[in-house]
Amino acid sequence: MTGPFSYVIVGAGSAGCVLANRLSENPAHRVLLLEAGPTDTSPLIAMPKGFGRLLLDPTHAAYTPVAPHAGNAHRAEVWARGKMLGGSSAINGMVYMRGHSDDYNDWVAQGATGWGWADIAPGFKAIEDHALGADALRGAGAAPLPADATSTGGAAARTGGVPAGVAPAGRRCVRLRASASTVQPSATAVRQAR
C-alpha cells in the first residue's frame, strides 16, 4: 500500500464497495478502501443460514447500542454491523426490500429533490437480475443482485418483490462483494485497518 491516493474510502460495506468500484473505473484515480474487519473467507459468509452465527461473532460484527427514542417505541436496541468486505450485507438475512414508491415520493414532497421513485427506480433495476425478467418494476440481465420469484402480492409485488440473494450453486450473494470483486487495479483494499 503506497500513496498518494486520489480517494480514501473508510468502510468496505455496501456503499464503500460501490464507491470504490465506480471511482476505480477511471485509471487516473488511485483508490484506498479501508475495512476494520478480517478477510471475508469464513464459509459462513457464503452459507445462506450462516448469518445467524456471524451476527454473534465479534470478529465479523460490531455492536452499536441505540438509545431508546420515539421511533423505536422507547426500547433499548443493539444494532449489529458487519466488519468485512460487504459490511452488513455480508451478515444480513438475505432480504432485499426497496420500499414502496410512495415512500420515496413523500421524501420529495418534504424537500428531498432527486429522491422520488422515478429518480430512484432506475438504480434499483440496474442492480437486479430478477428470475421473472425485466418489466416496469424489476431489472434483469447482467446485474450483481440475483432475485427469485418467491414474493407474492401486496406492497412487495408493487415494488418488484422481496428477492432472496442466493447466487448460483446455492451460495449467498453478498450484495456488494460483486461490486468489490470488480474493483480495478487502481484500487487497494486494506482489511483490519486501524
Number of domain units in the chain: 2
Q: Identify whether residues 14 and 82 lie together within a single domain.
A: yes
Per-residue model confidence as pLDDT tens digits over 86-145 = 888 888 776 667 788 899 999 999 999 999 999 998 888 887 877 788 888 888 876 666
CB contact at 8 A, 1 and 158:
no
Q: Could you read off the pLDDT of 53-94 as tens digits, one per residue?
A: 888 999 999 999 999 998 889 999 998 898 888 888 888 776
Q: Are residues 49 and 114 in the same domain?
A: no
- Phi/psi for 21 (5° steps) reads -60, -50
- Residue 139 placed within a domain: yes
Domain membership of residue 35 (yes or no) is yes
Domain shared by 53 and 124, yes or no = no
The pLDDT value given to residue 153: 39
Indicate whether 120 and 136 sit together in one domain. yes
Residue 185 is assigned to a structural domain of this protein: yes
Would you say residue 32 lies in a domain?
yes
| Rounded alpha-carbon distances, angstroms, from residue 194 to 37, 93, 102, 139 | 10, 28, 41, 38
Domain shared by 86 and 25, yes or no: yes
Please tell me whether the peptide bond between 4 and the residue prior to it is cis, using omega within 30 degrees of 0: yes
* Residue 181 within a domain: yes
- pTM of the predicted model as reported, rounded to 2 decimal places: 0.62
Residue 169 located in a structural domain? no
10 Å Cβ neighbour count for 131?
Answer: 13
Instruction: Domain of residue 116: give its range.
Output: 101-164
Determine, yes or no, domain membership for 1. no
Asked, for residue 2, whether it belongs to a domain, the answer is no
> 111 and 47, same structural domain?
no
Task: Tell me what pLDDT residue 146 has.
Answer: 66
Q: What is the pLDDT of residue 105?
A: 95
Regarding whether 111 and 51 lie in a shared domain, the answer is no
The interaxial angle of helices 101-109 and 117-127, nearest 10 deg, is 140
